[in-house]
Amino acid sequence: MSAKPTRVRHWVLFVVCVLYLVTYLDRVSISVTAPEMMKAFSLNKFQMGLIFSAFVWPYALCQLPTGMLGDRFGPRKVLTVMVVWWSVFTAATGLAWNFASLLLVRILFGMGESGAIPVANRAFSYWLPPTERGFASGITHSFSRVAGALTPVIAVAIMVLWGWQAVFFIFSIGGIVWAAFWFFWYRDTPAEFNKRWGQVVNQAEMDLADAGQKPVKKVASVPFSQIIRSKNLWVLGMSDFMYSYAFWIYLAWLPTYLVEARGFTLVKMGIFASLPMLAGAVGDTVGGWISDFLLERTKNAKFARRSVPMFGLIMAALLMTPGGLTDSPYLAVSLLTAGLFCLEMAIAAYYTVCLDVAQESAGSATGMVSCLGNLGSAISPMVFGAIVYYGNSWVWPFVIASVILLIGAALWMWVDPTLPLTEELARLDKRPAAAVVA
């Protein structure tokens, strides 16, 4: 009887999940502290929107180069450096003294966090088979949404005791601890892991992981100049733009929205701002699991990878506008919570498709898709803040987001999760797939 696969890959998955949690603790903290920071620095809503976007622009634009670094030097080294980098600037946020210094610190913080998702996704290339990737993408994002849910509660408690600056000092510690453990424990492949820690990954688990590398197991990574020619990745990235635009309304503005538009106290805001993120955490895992389940049962990758995000984006669109329109603050929270659950059902598919089609270039592919997606993240806080400040409306931002989500759902019809990147590029040049790699 053949041996059962060991489960070291699940420990790798868990450690990456913790990274996503740390990432969002550091990222969301500024949204919770925003009302106090606006008072301290005399900032209006448009200026605060610029501060939110100051993180996202470098975060988006640096994702492709950091993804390429992950492909070239490996997730172990690159993630260690990046996590230490952004942890330092998390702490530095608490040292800002005016609008300009806060803007600069958030730009540098965004540069550091840019490598988190592309390089972490690349870490799965040699560890997870295709039938486990949807769940992995879902559960990692689930941890980030749990962090988003915990951040308002934790941050408000810290603010009450020690002030808003202390939030950033305390949260920065988690990243430093994670980076030290990752560099000490993780290895980029199961073979390297066994070389460092003994034969803890058995052959059955290595064979299972290797299934995800065929048919491009021995093919070199695709260079940047060719990756950006992929129509598949461009369409996927444009849909991710639509998803990210809507998601960042929750991430950047929800706490302020609950305080100023819905009249919640600071403590009540800390509680109710957590509910959508908790629902989103469940949606992440459910969406990834359903996608893998459909793939295993139907063997139809197009149906399995497309249907879940399309359903999630459409349902989120149908819930967000009523959430902004209703007069009841508690019904608004309920509808927006349900909306984020549906929205988050979509997220696993974006990163799973990057793994499915790109394999050894998964870091670069994820970087490209996430870069396009996070341009939506960068625009969203500014547009939201401008509409509220200049248009004096808390409703129109939700209406606009709903329309954008419907466009994002439609774009999935042109995404082909069964088309390997090397094959797509070979078709463009009408030459063998092996000829498109460096």
Please check whether residue 1 lies inside any domain of the structure. no
Q: Please tell me whether the overall predicted TM-score, pTM, comes out greater than 0.75 for this model.
A: no
Mean pLDDT of 185-204: 89
Q: Range of 122's domain?
A: 8-436
Looking at the domain assignment, is residue 316 inside a domain?
yes
- State what percent of residues in the chain have pLDDT above 70: 94
* pLDDT in the model for residue 242: 95
Q: Tell me, yes or no, whether 376 lies in a domain.
A: yes
Q: What is the pLDDT of residue 414?
A: 94
DSSP class per residue in 276-310: HHHHHHHHHHHHHHHHHHHHHHH--HHHHHHHHHH
Q: Which two tokens stand for residue 411?
A: 């774009």
Q: How many whole angstroms separate alpha carbon 213 and alpha carbon 356?
A: 9
Calculate the alpha carbon distances from 430 to 17, 216, 416 in Å: 40, 18, 19
Closest residue by Cα to residue 50 from 104, 90, 94: 104
**Average pLDDT of the chain, as a whole number:** 86
Rounded Cα–Cα distance for residues 74 and 350 (Å): 22
> Would 2 be classed as within a structural domain?
no
Residue 363 lies in a domain: yes
Q: Are 1 and 175 in contact (CB under 8 A)?
A: no
- Has residue 273 been placed in a domain? yes
pLDDT for 139-161, tens place per residue? Answer: 888 888 888 778 888 998 999 89
CATH number (domain holding residue 140): 1.20.1250.20
Give how far Cα 78 sits from Cα of 363, 364, 369, Å.
11, 13, 19
User: Which pLDDT belongs to residue 243?
Assistant: 95
Domain count, the chain: 1
Both tokens of residue 97?
């003294």
pLDDT per residue as tens digits for the range 43-58? 887 888 788 888 888 8
**Residue of 379, 347, 344, 341 whose CA lies nearest to 366:** 347
Is 76 a member of any domain?
yes
pLDDT band at 217 (very low <50, low <70, confident <90, very high): very low
- How far is residue 412's CA from residue 73's CA, in Å, rounded to a whole number? 32
- pLDDT digits over 383-429, tens only? 888 888 888 888 898 999 999 999 999 999 999 998 888 888 888 77
Judge whether 102 lies within some domain.
yes
pLDDT over threshold 80, residue 303: yes
